[in-house]
Amino acid sequence: MTIFITGATAGFGKATATQFAAAGWNCIITGRRKERLAILADELMQQYPIKVHKLCFDIQDRNAVKAAIDSLSAEWKNIDVLVNNAGLALGRDSFENASLDDWDTMIDTNVKGLIYVTKAIVPFFIERKKGHIINIGSTAGKEVYKEGNGYCATKHAVDALSKAMRIDLLPHHIKVTAVHPGAAETEFSLVRYKGDNEKANAVYEGFKALEAKDIADVIFYAANLPTHICINELVITCTAQANSFYLHK
């Protein structure tokens, strides 16, 4: 079995690669940080009797996405599960102050990047008459929160795209699952606050947030159900969080 994971250099993507590798799946791991991909590939192949293929590209670059996926050998194109995980938030500003550059990056990554990858891989699924797309949305794609504007909009788009894919790809026996996590302690906040460790750490103070492995467990469960079962969507928060704007600290 083969899984293709976007954004496997950190957080949920890395934990997902590790979880599936441990269960004997071959992994296609992707991201922009080439060294991290190399380290992870070596680690996984040393620990488990599996193959790992690395694809280094910026998901915002439509041509780079297509070229990377086209470069896969026929064997590696036998993908069973695609996890559309690569994504980010940038900034936490009110609508009038939010940076258009930040919005462009979030839209290009979280929405357009997800579409580019999926459009490139869906033909393989259609040919094999099976496949499973697992999109990582967010609680931010279920309700908006103060100063979440652009990021929330991209995750609402992931929610809508997941529903649309599920309808349109039904005749091809392709499952579509949307996984919507709440606050999880990964590199997410460090990226959002542009390297400001203090602000990033403060996000997770005063409660026990989700860990990357918690989401990898859920992805693993959804991906390993019998052929006739598809989890359409799951919203997962830590116990301290009720929804995208109510967190009990």
Residue 202 CA to residue 182 CA, distance in Å, equals 16
- Residue 30 CB coordination number (10 Å): 26
Of the candidates 88, 107, 153, 235, which one interacts with ligand NDP according to CB under 6 A? 88
Q: How far is the CB of 203 from ligand NDP (least distance, A)?
A: 8
What is the 3 state secondary structure string of 145-192? CCCCHHHHHHHHHHHHHHHHHHHHCHHHCEEEEEEEECCEECCHHHHH
What the block records as the tokens of 212 is: 């990357």
Interactions with ligand 8X3, residue window 111-140 (CB under 6 A): 138-140
Q: Of the listed 145, 151, 193, 204, which one is catalytic?
A: 151
Q: If you search the block for the tokens 């928060």, which residue do you land on?
A: 237
Which residues are CB-neighbours of 66 under 8 A, at least 6 positions away? 116, 120
51 is an interface residue for ligand NDP by CB under 6 A: no
Residue 19 CA to residue 14 CA, distance in Å, equals 9
Look at residue 84 and give the partner it binds from ligand NDP, ligand 8X3, none, a contact being a CB closer than 5 to 8 Å depending on partner kind: none
Where in the chain does DSSP place strands (E)? 2-5, 26-31, 52-56, 81-84, 131-136, 174-181, 184-185, 210-211, 233-236
116 is an interface residue for ligand NDP by CB under 6 A: no
Interactions with ligand NDP, residue window 136-195 (CB under 6 A): 136, 138, 181, 183-184, 186-188, 191
Q: How far is the CB of 127 from ligand NDP (least distance, A)?
A: 25
Residues contacting ligand 8X3: total by CB under 6 A: 8
- The SS3 assignment for 83 reads strand
Q: How far is the CB of 5 from ligand NDP (least distance, A)?
A: 9
* Residue with Cβ nearer ligand NDP (2 or 109): 109
Look at residue 60 and give the partner it binds from ligand 8X3, ligand NDP, none, a contact being a CB closer than 5 to 8 Å depending on partner kind: ligand NDP
Look at residue 52 and give the partner it binds from ligand 8X3, ligand NDP, none, a contact being a CB closer than 5 to 8 Å depending on partner kind: none
Gap between the terminal Cα atoms of the chain = 41
Look at residue 13 and give the partner it binds from ligand 8X3, ligand NDP, none, a contact being a CB closer than 5 to 8 Å depending on partner kind: ligand NDP
Residue ranges in contact with ligand 8X3 by CB under 6 A: 89, 138-140, 148, 182-183, 244
Positions marked catalytic: 151
